[in-house]
Amino acid sequence: MGVGARGSGRRGFGVARRHSFHEYRVQQAVRAPGTASVRGELFGGLRENDVITLFEELGSENRVELVDELPSNVARRLMQGLSASERDLTAPMLGYAKGSTGRRMSPEYIRVHAATTAHEALEQVRETGSEAESVYLLPITDESRRLIGVVTLADVATADPADRVQDLATAQPVVAADMSAEDAARMCLEYRSPAVVVVDSENRLIGILTIEQAARIIEEAEDEDAARAGGSEPFRRPYLGTPVMSIVRSRIVWLLVLALSAILTVQVLEVFEDALAAVVTLALFIPLLTGTGGNTGAQAATTVTRSLAVGDVRPRDIAAVLFREVRVGATMGGMLGLLGFTIAGLVYDWDLGFVIGSTLFVICTLAATVGGAMPLLAKKIGVDPAVFSTPFVSTFCDSTGLVIYFLIAMSVLGV
């Protein structure tokens, strides 16, 4: 009734065999978050026997993560070198899609049968607990390994020894193996559960996702979102250890995309060239208006992207989000517009002040609305919402803001 092999949290340092300092550093690198892309290089520097030994001693989830970073022929050779028990634990995880919970879970846990008593469950934990990823949550299954419920170690330890674990089951989150690992991790952290149980499409128990694993997944996701919001791709390795060309490649694509998008702004200026020539003062306010629009849109996009990530909103809530962002944008636009109208009117003339104030109001309203909607639309079509946060929203707001500005100026000033 217990599921075996050693948990990754106990591997390497708890075994009898002593490793060299070099192997110790490799194990540290394998476990460290954010260094996945260096693992293949580190393993490549060891002798084959050392590699096979270390690969055997890794936890199944770490092993799967490493396989993704290695050439296919090397990964295949390492998998063939595993013991039968370790291969049986690892191979099923490789069948799930990258980014799914099945790819990041641990198949090393303790399960108990429904008819097991509290006393028997405690004995089982004592006998096999050192081999499990976590002992704080015990899944309860029937003879076919279908999940019946979950019991905590605390409830088992404080119950009457004769009580059946099925009668002690409590409500705990359960996730499907094909569910996004990030969504499962957020669920684990939201419920503050030591682990969430992972099941397949037939409700058969196949693994657990611990709170430590969940925290690491969320950290990786937030690093990725932060990088993409800034217009680059995450390194997935230490900054000072990243080759210069790798940094260039992570940034250049986005810069090219943004540069092409910025051509729209140039085209807008060209279309309204006559208006600029007639009233040169209009050019002085372009940085203010484009900057305000871009910042407003970025603020809204970042807020909604964050709310999406933590589950506060869903794509189906787009109407409510739009209604809220319209009001937020209009309020901020009204305040900034009044300030712009007053300053521009006093320094230049009141007609120009009206143009600046009106434009700020419209731009803020539009930018907040678009910034709030784009992450939801991105999520709906299966695109990373972070990609649509700052770079694209800012570029969109620049172009549309200038169009609005010149149309209002032409209408009010007659140019």
Which range has the worst mean pLDDT, 36-50, 170-184, 247-261, 310-324?
Answer: 36-50
The pLDDT-based confidence of 218 (bands split at 50, 70, 90) is confident
Using the 3D structure, point to which of 57, 73, 94 is the last residue of a domain.
94
Is 269 within the bounds of a domain?
yes
Cα 118 → chain centroid: 39
CA distance 103 to 233: 22
pLDDT tens readout for residues 288-317: 898 898 889 888 988 888 788 777 888 889
Contact 378, 385 (CB under 8 A): yes
Is 22's pLDDT higher than 70? no
Is 182 within the bounds of a domain?
no
Is 208 within the bounds of a domain?
no
Once rounded to an integer, what is the mean pLDDT over residues 98-104? Answer: 89
pLDDT tens readout for residues 80-100: 778 888 888 888 888 888 889
Helix ranges (DSSP H) in 32-161: 39-44, 48-57, 60-69, 72-80, 84-94, 101-104, 118-128, 153-158
Is 7's pLDDT higher than 70? no
Tokens found for residue 88? 């049986």
Is 45's pLDDT higher than 60? no
Max intra-chain CA distance, the chain:
92
CA distance 29 to 45: 13
CA distance 384 to 393: 14
Is 266's pLDDT higher than 80? no
CATH number at residue 262: 1.10.357.20
User: Among residues 199, 150, 197, 208, which one has the least CA distance to residue 176?
Assistant: 199
The pLDDT-based confidence of 15 (bands split at 50, 70, 90) is very low
Q: In the prediction, which pLDDT does 254 show?
A: 65
Name 198's bridge partners.
175, 207
Contact 156, 118 (CB under 8 A): yes
Spatial neighbors of 245 by CB under 8 A, at least 6 apart, are none
Residue-number span of the structural domain to which 56 is assigned: 8-94
Q: In the prediction, which pLDDT does 18 show?
A: 38
Q: In the prediction, which pLDDT does 125 show?
A: 92
CA distance 354 to 405: 11
CA distance 63 to 54: 10
More reliable by pLDDT, 115 or 271: 115
CA distance 412 to 16: 83
Is 118's pLDDT higher than 90? yes
Which range has the worst mean pLDDT, 183-197, 236-250, 284-298?
Answer: 236-250
CA distance 307 to 304: 5
Q: In the prediction, which pLDDT does 354 show?
A: 94
Is 179's pLDDT higher than 80? yes
pLDDT tens readout for residues 119-129: 999 999 999 88
pLDDT over 90, % of the chain: 27
pLDDT tens readout for residues 358-402: 999 999 999 999 989 988 888 888 776 766 566 677 778 888 888
More reliable by pLDDT, 53 or 170: 170
Is 101 within the bounds of a domain?
no
Which helix (H) or strand (E) element contains residue 140?
strand 137-141
CA distance 324 to 17: 61
The pLDDT-based confidence of 280 (bands split at 50, 70, 90) is confident
Contact 6, 53 (CB under 8 A): no
The most confident of 66-75, 223-232, 247-256, 326-335, by mean pLDDT: 326-335
Once rounded to an integer, what is the mean pLDDT over residues 152-164? Answer: 92
CA distance 366 to 375: 15
Using the 3D structure, point to which of 63, 94, 125 is the last residue of a domain.
94
The pLDDT-based confidence of 232 (bands split at 50, 70, 90) is low
Q: In the prediction, which pLDDT does 294 show?
A: 85
Is 177's pLDDT higher than 60? yes
The pLDDT-based confidence of 251 (bands split at 50, 70, 90) is low
CATH number at residue 90: 1.10.220
CA distance 297 to 278: 30
State the DSSP string of 105-120: -B---B-EETT-BHHH
Q: In the prediction, which pLDDT does 320 show?
A: 93
Is 38 within the bounds of a domain?
yes
Is 366 within the bounds of a domain?
yes
More reliable by pLDDT, 52 or 85: 85
Is 232 within the bounds of a domain?
no
Counting the structural domains of the chain, the total is 2
Contact 103, 64 (CB under 8 A): yes
For 34, 112, 209, the CA distances from 86, given in Å and listed in that order, are 25, 21, 18
Cα 316 → chain centroid: 20
Is 179 within the bounds of a domain?
no
Is 137's pLDDT higher than 50? yes
CA distance 84 to 29: 26
Tokens found for residue 82? 């595993």
| Average predicted confidence (pLDDT) for the chain | 79
More reliable by pLDDT, 302 or 176: 176
Using the 3D structure, point to which of 69, 94, 119 is the last residue of a domain.
94
Q: How many CB atoms lie within 10 A of CB 152?
A: 17
